[in-house]
Amino acid sequence: MVTLTGAGFKGTGSFSGQGFKVAFQRPDPGPRDMLELDAIAIRSASVESVVLTTREVKEAIRDFVDAAFTNSEWHGNGRRRAANASAQEMFYDDIEARGQYAGLVYSKFGKRDKGGFIDYLLIHMRGATIRPRDGEWLRIRNKRAGQSHTLVAQTGHYHFSGSDIFFAKSKDGKKLFQMRRYRKGSLSARKGSVELLATLVKSVKIPARLSGVEAIARRRPELFEGHFAEALKARGVI
């Protein structure tokens, strides 16, 4: 409500006179106003609760993956790279169009190839058997070996390094080992030694070992309800 009231005033020096005071005062809220205020508070509390729940789930998953992938290197934010990639967050503001605000925790722990995105996190959560898409063998390189870029098909004598690359079968015939043997006359410090470059297998079975991620995700309703109740209380709705 806007009111215009007469009011005398005294300014600086000899300046004084009669004027008007303009004031705005909201009348006591009626039932409709109270409903509107509650609706605004509930919407605000809902958004806050979605954000808090999404981030709590994300951080819990990262804790879990940090403990599982101990060989993954640490990132600048105090998380392992595998954990950061396994739990990313995104928010969708559709309040105006659909009355909805949503949070998403998603994984980018994987790689993209011709067949689409291969989610490594999902493989470790549910287990999988990996087979070569092309050819007969999967090549698992030995990261400790030199010349780790050597291709599967490369064999023969390499004059520069004074070494020979060859394949050897496992006793059961289910594996191939790509080896490098340094000749005794080699100038390399490794002369006379043999190193494993890669192991070739027809398939790799990965057991399900990260099922705890799904258990964390199932807590979303419980977490949201807790945050929502606290947010409503803080806004005086309940």
Distance CA 21, CA 4 (A): 6
Distance CA 17, CA 9 (A): 6
pTM over 0.75: no
Distance CA 176, CA 153 (A): 12
pLDDT at 19: 44
Both tokens of residue 225?
A: 């309800």
pLDDT at 180: 85
Average pLDDT per 10 consecutive residues for the chain, totaling 238 residues? 43 47 48 69 91 96 95 93 95 83 92 83 91 86 68 68 85 89 66 83 91 93 94 88
Domain spans of the chain, in order of start: 31-116+119-124+207-234, 132-202
Does residue 161 contact residue 169 with C-beta atoms inside 8 Å? no
In terms of Cα–Cα distance, which of 96, 64, 100, 101 is closest to 79? Answer: 64
Phi/psi zone of residue 153: left (φ > 0), alpha (ψ -120 to 50 degrees), beta? alpha
Does residue 19 contact residue 31 with C-beta atoms inside 8 Å? no
Residue 157 pairs in a beta bridge with 164
Three-state secondary structure of 65-114: HHHHCCCCCECCCCCEHHHHHHCEEEEEEEHHHHCEEEEEEECCCEEEEC
Helix, strand, coil share of the chain (percent; to 5): 30, 35, 35
In terms of Cα–Cα distance, which of 18, 3, 106 is closest to 57? Answer: 106
pLDDT at 189: 54
In terms of Cα–Cα distance, which of 238, 236, 230 is closest to 46? Answer: 230
